[in-house]
Amino acid sequence: MKVYSSDKIRNISLLGHSGSGKTILAEAMIHATGATNRMGRVEDGSTVSDWDEEEIKRSQSINTSLIPCEWDGHKINVLDTPGYPDFIGDVISALRVSEAGMIVLDAVSGVEVGTELAWQQLVQENKPRMIFINKMDRDNANFQRALDALKETFDGNFVPVLLPIGAEHDFKGVASVIRGRAYMGSDAKQEDAPADMQDALEEAHLMLVEAAAESDDELLMKYLEGEELTSDEVFNGLKSAFLAGDVVPVLCGSAAKEIGIRTAMNLILALAPSPVEGAPYPAIIDNEEGELPGDPDGPTAALVFKTIADPYVGRITLFRVFNGTVKTDSRLYNVNKNSEERLGHVFTLRGKEQIKVDLVPAGDIAAAAKLNVTATGDTLADKGVNIVLPPPQLPNPLYAVAIKPVSQADSAKIGSALSRLVEEDPTLRWYNDSSIRQMILMGMGDVHITIAVNRLKSKFGVNVTTDMPKVPYRETVSRTASASHRHKKQTGGAGQFGEVHMRVEPGEQDQDLEYVWEVFGGAISSTFKPSIEKGIRQVLKGGVLAGYPVVGVKVAVYDGKEHPVDSKDIAFQVAGREAFKKAFQEAGPIFLEPIYKVEVTVPEEYMGDILSDLNTRRARVQGMDTVRGKSIITAEVPYAELLRYANDLRSITQGRGIYSIEFLRYEPVPQHLAQAIIDEAKREKEDE
């Protein structure tokens, strides 16, 4: 593929609700360039973008795909993102390396849940955005209804730059509001706009000219003085307003019929900022906040935004060059890992197809294979250059399952397979929790986890079963109590003897044990001090009440007895262990449970339902706020009540609610729930 200079590159992410037609739009764009012989279809898995086995099986995107389109002397790097909320991590990563976003809207369905989430993400990332109203050829397609829905739902100045010619089965082409010309059929044949559209075009043109004029004082004066603005002046004004976020251009077409696609690509070239216009880019330079100019001749700095773990090819690393130029067979330094990497074979991806490139200048996106330590979020730079690019800010996982390998062979492979999955998708997380004796896999929702489990099997040959995770409770004491234990054992020869008197009281919750020696007068030799502590620590890990770790206890050994011959290390270990168990049981033992801060964002009409549901979850609401028609509720909720909240929130709000969680602290479990925890632990022990 030809090397394009930074000013000839456009990076744009396609976003929107699942099923709105993002993948087919990307397919139509690549087909318009002549890079493919025929249009693929989502239904039969023949699109360039959806090449993953899971995507083909489900007929939906679950990964961001890179689709480079060479068009009119430029290169448009199209990033086709998933529409399902569980894969928000891919959307965030794609926007991190894009200068602009295009929200794809179904002309029949209008604004949907995924549209709202896409808009919210673009606002959060402060990226210029445009709208493509797709599927204008469908029954009941209505451009004006979709446009009205956008205006009602979002706080933006939506200005049509293309109007549809016909609709439903009569949809034939698009008319440019700026040029006043019609572009008919899949080949965008130019002709005069239909006579019956002149009024609509004039009205839209007036709206567009006003929006363009407001972006520039000179244009505004010219407009107010009654002078007519040229097409180029309108374009320039529109671009300025678009870049500032003051205007949201609205396009339309049918990706499946390839109508409006070429015109849309021309508008992307005209309006979307090049990497040169997108500069400067924030970076940490020599440990201080700074900016990169996006200079292809400057020091190299590239951000890794996605990793593909391919069991056959190995790790494929996708990166965006923010400064300098990356060359094939070059060496770059991974600043985050303090390790040098050799980029042997540099290529761009077109779906799964690898296209060799020799140079990747600032602003372009490419990939490299088989890097040793580099992961998503890392910065690759010239050695000796201390530049760190801010990684994508990904949300914490919300949904957890306990996973268990099916066989011994699966058990041997599961650790490395899970690590490679997390490399590929950093919104997944896994860990072994010894306190509940479970391996936990966390993600953004049940679909996300289901696909991860399927990938474990299909990509890495690891079979697992899934279960509800246990809550990682802790055990502690609520008051002071004392107890003693004498261990005496005679077996014919030398025996065992040790007697320990100890006091147990509440300690600091952030440490498991504070151990104090208060023995005076030689009742027990200080040589047995570590033996007693060892015995106590044997209990801490497995708990006293229900097998959960003990935390926040202070233990003082204040008396005891020893035997000149039979006292030894093992005797005092046993005595210490048993005395601790007795004292613990007398010291008002309680369970502690993890408490999380939860922030729920929902449309205002669901506020009452959410508050009612949170009340059933033992939540303590900390605050409520309303921002642009959305209610934001902050609450502290026990983790036990959040295990399946992702599914429940989706159900209550018809998918329009989102939330985030953050661990806060441990708190005592209410007394009426404690016995159920003990009973459950007993049942599990009997089942073993």
pLDDT, tens digit, 9 for 90 and up, residues 118-144: 998 999 999 999 999 999 999 999 999
> What pLDDT is recorded for position 265?
97
How confident is the model over 471-492, as a mean pLDDT? 90
Q: Which residue has the tokens 């018809």?
A: 654
pLDDT digits (tens, 9 = 90+) for 365-401: 999 998 999 999 999 999 989 999 999 999 888 899 9
Domain 399-470 has CATH 3.30.1360.120: no
Q: Per DSSP, what are the bridge partners of residue 515?
A: 555
Say what the pLDDT of residue 522 is. 76
User: Which whole-number Å values give the CA distances from 129 to 244, 248, 265, 303, in the listed order?
Assistant: 10, 6, 14, 22
Handedness of CA 199, 205, 211, 214 (dihedral sign): negative
Distance in angstroms (rounded) separating the CA atoms of residues 123 and 365: 23
pLDDT for 391 equals 94
| pLDDT tens sequence across 139-162 | 999 999 999 999 998 989 999 999
Percent pLDDT > 70 in the chain is: 99
Which residue type, as a one-letter code, is found at position 302? A
Residue 688: the pLDDT is 61
Considering only CA atoms, which of 474, 435, 503, 421 is closest in space to residue 589? 474
The 10s digit of each residue's pLDDT in 636-654 is 999 999 998 988 999 999 8
217 pLDDT exceeds 80? no
- The dihedral region occupied by 397, where left means phi > 0, alpha psi between -120 and 50, and beta the remainder, is beta
Average of per-residue pLDDT across 437-444: 93
Q: Give the separation between CA 214 and CA 212, rounded to whole angstroms.
A: 6
Are 399-470 and 591-672 equal in CATH topology? yes
For the cut 90, the answer to whether the pLDDT of residue 236 exceeds it is: no
Classified by CATH at the fold level, domain 281-388 comes out as Elongation Factor Tu (Ef-tu); domain 3 (2.40.30)
Q: Is residue 484 predicted with pLDDT exceeding 70? A: yes
pLDDT score of 365: 97
Domain boundaries, the chain: 6-192+246-278, 281-388, 399-470, 475-587, 591-672
Which CATH code is given to the segment(s) 591-672?
Answer: 3.30.70.240
CATH code of the region 475-587: 3.30.230.10
Whether 629 has a pLDDT exceeding 80, the answer reads no
**Exposure string over 476-511, b if 16+ CB within 10 A, otherwise e:** bbeeebbbbbbbeeeeeeeebbbbbbbbbbbbeeee
CATH number for the domain running over 6-192+246-278: 3.40.50.300
Question: b or e along 633-643 (b: 16 or more beta carbons within 10 Å of the residue's beta carbon)?
Answer: bebbbbbbbbb
d(CA 482, CA 26): 72
Q: What is the pLDDT of residue 234?
A: 84
Q: Is a pLDDT exceeding 80 seen at residue 218?
A: no
pLDDT digits (tens, 9 = 90+) for 30-76: 999 999 988 888 888 889 888 877 777 888 888 899 999 999 999 99
CA 190 vs. chain centroid, Å, equals 43
The predicted-structure confidence for 305-315, as pLDDT tens digits, reads as follows 999 877 677 78
Q: Which of 543, 572, 549, 373 is nearest to 485 (CA)?
A: 572
Question: What pLDDT does 492 receive?
Answer: 65
- Mean pLDDT, residues 287-301: 95
| The two structure tokens encoding residue 458 | 């299909």
pLDDT digits (tens, 9 = 90+) for 450-469: 999 998 998 889 999 999 99
